[in-house]
Structures are given as structure tokens and as C-alpha cells.
A and B are shown apart, each in its own frame.
Chain A
Amino acid sequence: MVRSEAELARGCRAGSREHLEELVDRFYGPVVNFIARFLGRRDVAHDLAQEVFIKVIRSIGTYDDRASLRTWIFTIAANVCRDELRRVKRRREVLESDAPELWLIGDAVADGRAEHSPQRRMDRSLEGLIIRKAVAALPDPHRMTVILRFFHDMSLKEIAQVCGCSVGTVGSRLHYAIKKLRAILTEPSFVDDEEARDALRNRQASASR
């Protein structure tokens, strides 16, 4: 039986291992993916997600059961991501376009297929790489909005809570981001691989039919 969020929070507050396990089962994966996609860095996603959950547990006593637990956790995750971006910028480690490649390498190795034919895997993932690059090209707030909307199925209101802005702002950010992504993905100079560009064009053509 799936517990309600309030029940889950109460159990975690009491230090119940069972509830902590359920918390991790339900939210750890989404948080890892949110961080990895937002920062464009798979390498730090697990560490930062862990940081998020430590913060969650340490602050669970202050969590208001009436609020959505998921939104609350994502708010903390968003703050951790912002801190990380600030930290990275401060240390002149500006995220470069290499990041998606790193993700790609991670994918290739992590699923154990790399040792057989890494290049084939890379080729198959080229389209994915372009998508990641396109998302990475969005400004931070827009990127966050897109990720929450398209990967985490959040409503405008929930996104507004996570991002700490108004629903109207979320709407305009989404609108802008969708236009921008469309423009990027159809811009020939952005996609320098012929095969991947064709694949994208075909997909767009079939979708518009």
C-alpha cells in the first residue's frame, strides 16, 4: 500500500527506516534525474541528490504536512542545484558543451554496452546528444521549468513553488523555452551531424503530419 505523503513525512520524522526506504524509493530517482538534467552533469547527480536527501531528513521536522512533499523535496533540490551552479561559476568551472558528451560516456559505460561497441552506441545517441545540448542552451530558469514540466509532469503551480516565482512567470518561461527549443533544434548550424539532423527533421515532419 502506498502511503500518503503526510504519513511518509511523519514516519521519516520519527526516524522509521521503513519510511526512509520508501522516501528514497519514491523520490531519489526523480531527484537524481532532475539534477543531472538541469546541471547537464551526470557525474555529480548522485552526490548532490544525496545532499538533497540529507537536507530533507534534517529539515523534515520543519516540513508542513499540508504542503506537497514532492514539491518540497524538489524545492530543496532546486536550491542545491543553484548552489552548485554558483559554486561552479565561482571556481571558473563554467559548464561547457563537453558536459553532454560526458553524460554520453557515462551512459555508454554504465549500461555495460560500451565495451562491445562504444562508437555504435554513440552514433545511436547522437540525436539524444543534440537534445541535451539544446536543453543546456536554455537559460537556467527556463531549463528548470522545462525539465519540471516535461520530465516530472508538474503543474504550473507546482513548478512555481519549486522555482519560487509566480504561475504567470512559469507560463511565460515555458512558452519562451518551447519556442527557443524548437528554434534550436531546427537550426542547421546547431546540429553539425548530418545523420542526426536528418533524423530530427524526419521526426518533425512526421509529427506535423
Chain B
Amino acid sequence: MRCVTARRLLLDKREARPPTRSRESLAEHLRRCPECRRELAEQNLLAEILAQWPDIEVSEEERRAVVEELVQAAGAGSAERPVGRGMARPTRLRLSFVLAAVALLLLAWTGDRFWAIRPSYTLVTRALDRVPSWYARGAIYPAIFPSGKSGVNNVEVWFRKPDTIRANIDGDYIQFLQRGGERQLYFAPFKLLEIREANSVDLTRIFDVHEWLQRQAVAGVVPARLVGHVRQGRNESKLLFELDLSRVLSADPAGEAILALVRVDRDTMLPERVDTRYLGRDFWLEFDYSREFPPRAEHLNLPEEGVIVGDEIVREVVAEEP
């Protein structure tokens, strides 16, 4: 056996085992080739080192949640875009023909009416028909992290369910909540800055996370618990808090949390991305509403224009809008 073949067999888990003849000749080759033995030792070492990286355990609750989603998805029974190698060619062809035929029939039948078709979002449509916008109350702590690396504040918030928020800030100073079970929020307070500029929003109050959390915790609104800290390099450390956000969201944050306004496209009934500017930087919210989160009556009389954050900030930002 040549070294090239031996090394390929070493790399290939499956081929290294079953065929007896290959295995025997590989063993024979390894006995007399120190280079390939070194290669094997290197691979074994790497496998051993990588084994230190433990698996994420998936809880029974998470599994059940996924099954529920799948049952629903299976019920919806829609076929998505083709996914490649596992797809049978005849099925693909049949599907294309059927779709083309259906599209032609639909066009012939509907004529002009075809273009008047709008997606039906019955759960929220009726309420939203009466207003051009609606509010959803959510909370992010803190509101914005100025990023020293990119100089851009990108805050994304998804309100998927009334009690689930995921915020992602510049990808690195991430605060996030895990799905299901415990909800946790992580952030790096040492990264926070005070921002004060003429004609800009003073977010100091929101950025002062330590004090803010303590105040909230004392008030019993947000049960915040300092879990520990993580060393980050030689001179920096990251504090780790745990918050029970299910309680936060049911509490009235009284201007401390972010108030997010999401405008909805009246034709498509899809939520629009709200873009605004903070200190000349981009800042946007993305809203993903679902049936679990219909607009509430008290939110339906709010002004058309406006974005994010506590009351006084909303006014300032609105004034800056073209």
C-alpha cells in the first residue's frame, strides 16, 4: 500500500474499518512507515483533544417543543424550495408540471382579479386595518451597546411570543435568551458608554446597567442575580447576570424599557423594518409578529410616526425623522 492510499484510509472513518483486506494492508503499512504512524498519532491526538468539547444537551422539553412545531409544519404541508441531493428527479419534474398547470389555470380563471390577491393574515388584519401602526411593548436591557469595533449599533429584537425576546447587538456583545425553560440574558456592562451629544438622545440612564438593574431588583420588578464573571483578556472581565424576563414582561416598565413601534405595510400586512438614526448610526428593529402576539387595544391609538425607547426619546427621534 502506498502512503497516499494509507493516509486517505486514515482520514476516512468508515473506510478504515469494514473492508478487512484494506485494514490488514493498512496495518501492515503502518508497521513499516513511521511517517504514516505519525499521521495516525496526530489524528488520534486531535480526536482526543476535540473530545474535550462537550455536546449541548437537548432537554426533553426542547425536544417536545420541536416536535410540536413539526407537527404543525407537517399539517401545513407546504413544500419549500428544493433542497438538493435527497430530492428525487421524477418528483421534482412532476412537481414543476403540476405547479405550472395550477398557475396557468389560476391566471385564466382570475384574470385581472389575480393581481388583487393579498396575503391573508386574518389574525391581525382586522385590527390593523383601522390603524397604520401599532405598538408592541418589549424590553431590552440595556437599550444599545455602542460597539468599539464596528462603530455601529445594530440592535435587533424579535418579539416572537409575548414572553420571548432575543436581542443581538453587533454580534459580539450579545445578549440573548434561550428558548423554552429558563430565560437568560447576557451582556457585557464594561462595554457600556455614556453618550451625550448635541441634538442626540441621552441614553445614559439606560446605559447605566448596574444601577438600573439594582434599582429594578430592589423594586422587585426584575429579579436580577449576579451569577459571576468571566475573564476576558488580561484587563477586562464580563459580568454575568440572570434575569427572570417572564416577570419583566408582565411588569410595567414605566419608561425604563424600550417601547417599540412597528409599522405595518397596509397592502401586504407585513411588518416594516423601522429604520432610524441614532447619532448618525444605523439602528433598526425587526419585528416578527405571530398569532400569539396580536396588538392590544391600548396600543391602537398611538401616533403614526415614532420609534423605539422611552417617552422623551420617542419624541426626539420623531422630530429627526424626515
Contacts and interface: CB of A to CB of B under 8 A. Distances in A.
B41 A207 contact: yes
A194 to B, nearest CB: 12
Interface in B59-91: 62-63, 66-67, 69-71, 73-88, 91
Contacts, number: 231
A98 interface: yes
Nearest to B86: A72
Nearest to A134: B49
A191 interface: no
A6 to B, nearest CB: 11
Given A43-B174, A76-B83, A161-B85, A155 B15 contact: yes
A23 B56 CA distance: 18
A176 to B, nearest CB: 11
A114 B74 contact: no
Contacts of B229: 118-119
> Is chain B's binding surface mostly helix, strand, loop or mixed?
mixed
Contact of B79 (A59, A92, A208): A59
Contact of B48 (A106, A157, A207): A207
Interface residues of B, number: 78
A53 B69 contact: yes
> Is chain A's binding surface mostly helix, strand, loop or mixed?
helix
Nearest to A145: B11
B53 interface: yes
Contacts of A119: 228-229, 231
Interface in A159-177: 161, 164, 171, 174-175
Interface of B: 7-8, 11-15, 41-50, 52-58, 62-63, 66-67, 69-71, 73-88, 91-92, 95, 149-150, 152, 154, 156, 166, 168, 170-174, 176, 178-179, 182, 184, 186, 225, 227-232, 238, 240, 242
The 4 closest A-B pairs by CB, nearest first: A93-B171, A118-B228, A72-B86, A155-B14
